[in-house]
Amino acid sequence: MNPEHIEQNLEQLADAVGSRDSFVNDVMNRIENSPVQPGKKQNRNVAFRRILMKTPIKFTAAATVLIAATLSLTLFDKTVPSVYALEQTVEALNAMRSIHTRIYYPGYQDPVFVWARFHKNGSTEALRVSQSKFAPGDPHDGPKDITWKNNVAQVLLKNKNTVVDIHDQTEAAKVGMLFQELNPKLLVQKLEQMQKQGTAQIEIDQPDEIDQPIIITATLAEENLLLGHQAVILVDQATKLVLSLETLKGDGVFDLKTEHFGMYDFSRIEFFDYNQPLKDDIFSLKVPDDATMIDLATNIVGLSPGEMSIEETAVEVVKRFWESLIEQDYEVAGLMYGGVPAEKLQEAFGEQPESKILKVISVDTVKIHPNPMFKNKAFLVPCTIEYLEEGQIKQKTYNCIVKEVDGQPGQWAICGGI
Amino acid sequence: MKQSDAELVQEILAGNKQAFALLVARYERPVRAVAISIVKSSHTADDIAQEAFVRSWQQLPNLRNPKVFGSWLMKIARRCAIDSLKKQQSLKYSDSLDQMAAHERNGRLDEKKQHLLETIQKLPKSERQVVMLRYFGPHTVRDLADIVGSSVGTVTKQLSRAHKRLRSRLQEIE
């Protein structure tokens, strides 16, 4: 199957799916014999009354039967789910104090686990995020644990054995916000609001069976970072609590998945354990004794543009990082690389005489990082370096990510890609 | 000019059963395709498709917005297919395994077609609907615009985006 000939492939598929000459007749015969016929919605009690009065029985007898029948119909109706509306879920979620969430992305080996505790007013009290194995080739920092409490965030980068403390209230709030938006109550409220504004079309499919979830399909006029352009929410019929959220994203302009920029065109979030007690220690990181600590509150890292454009600053940061490594100035290299301690870089680049950086061959044109989460405040800087490995000269190309430093507006430093 | 889905639904609710026959003819293949994408057998898909149309007929008065008939019907088809799959799984214990395997082999699409079908099911709803109507029914783009109640320009754009998306997803697999 050649993807370039997609129309031809679709035509062949349609032939294979096939149709049957007598299919329409068969369906029409079945509906002819169907006990339920559509038409204007009827009040079942009225219809029943009409049938009852056609029978040759006295009015008094009919009245007695009618009372019994009405009673039985009323009782019967109680077993049928009441008509669902989004506000029922918002109301049910008013009592939410804690939740466990799992986020699934295609290509990732494990879900991202999130635990959250909420104040009585619904605001987030504490968060814990745990990301384990990532897909091969992913440029992220690898497995990490994040805690967020009292507007202080701590990130443990497990592969790098490094802890980043984010004390700056504004920046910590941003970290918190990333995950607070996973609050199912906020999600449903957002949908309600968008529906009122006419920016989301919402369809609700409420099955007759009480054990089947209600399916809410929201089609958004404009793609939303969290909800994508289409979102499907499953709601438990009995409790009205949200069970899962599936989102479709992507506009086909660039393929985030292929580029491994951390955004995916499909994700699934499952919500579990509403109001199950969570121990305090889940919201504190267990920091290994030998972990490197990066405190973004005390070190001024990276470069500020001064006379340069931001793009030129990004290039300069990358050049200075590599040149500092060549000169074995690990202090400066660390500052260019988001505040990584000098000893850490020395350990990585300077302790094997037969393995070292020799020269910067090229630094190419800067591109804005396409991940919308960076809101155009991050760049990709492609660069090629020459290095010595076990006595052999080799070359390698990196796509360094340079962004504005969290908590240090106006400072730009490398945050990944190496 | 083709009658839109919404117009046909209104005619059915006013008592014109033949209008439903037109919808069955229009959606036979798309409904079969949804069923095959789930149960992976064209034999079972025929029963599922019939059941989906019968259920949609019975539930038609509950459809609040007749314009979305197509996507609503696909949801019913999905539900019927999933129900059928559950039944098949429980039947497996009573059927002879050889019989089951032979039956499944005969009604299966080849792997690539099955994959394309599943990829179509993952398209955004609006794109999925136009792709299924365009290729699984004898409809021109003009017909599609009438059926779904959009402009020719919108439908063309949706088809082109769907092609692009399908192409790129298939390339990932190739």
> What pLDDT does residue A313 have?
92
* C-beta separation of A305 from A414 below 8 A: no
Q: pLDDT tens across A348-397, in order? A: 777 665 567 888 999 988 888 876 666 677 899 999 999 887 778 888 88
Q: Is the pTM higher than 0.80? A: no
Stronger pLDDT, B121 or A362, i.e. the higher one? A362
Q: What is the mean pLDDT of chain A?
A: 75
In the three-class reduction of DSSP (H, G, I as helix; E, B as strand; rest coil), residue B99 is classed as helix
ipTM over 0.85: no
Closest CA of chain A from B93, distance in Å: 25
Contact A219 B122 (CB under 8 A): no
On whether any CB of chain B is under 8 Å from the CB of A136, the answer is no
Which residues of chain A fall short of a pLDDT of 50? 39-80, 135-139, 251-263
Give residue B149's region: left, alpha or beta (phi > 0; psi -120 to 50): left
Q: In sequence order, what are the residues at sequence separation of 6 or more whose Cβ sits closer than 8 angstroms to the Cβ of residue A176?
A: A124, A127, A148, A151, A153
B110 pLDDT exceeds 70?
yes
Short-list B7, B33, B9, CA closest to B129: B33
Tell me how far CA of residue A80 lies from CA of A34, A35, A71, A72, B64, in angstroms.
21, 19, 15, 13, 19
Q: pLDDT tens across B54-108, in order? A: 989 888 887 777 888 888 888 888 888 888 877 766 544 434 444 444 444 456 7
On whether any CB of chain A is under 8 Å from the CB of B16, the answer is no
On whether any CB of chain B is under 8 Å from the CB of A203, the answer is yes
Contact A24 B161 (CB under 8 A): no
Token pair, residue A371, equals: 């991940």
> What pLDDT does residue A154 have?
84
Residues 6-35 of A with CB under 8 A from B: 6-7, 9-14, 16-20, 23-24, 26-28, 30-32, 34
Token pair, residue A105, equals: 């992305």
Query: Which of B24, B61, B79 faces A27 most closely, judged by CB atoms?
Result: B24
Q: Quick one: pLDDT band at residue B20, thresholds 50, 70, 90?
A: very high
> What pLDDT does residue A143 have?
79
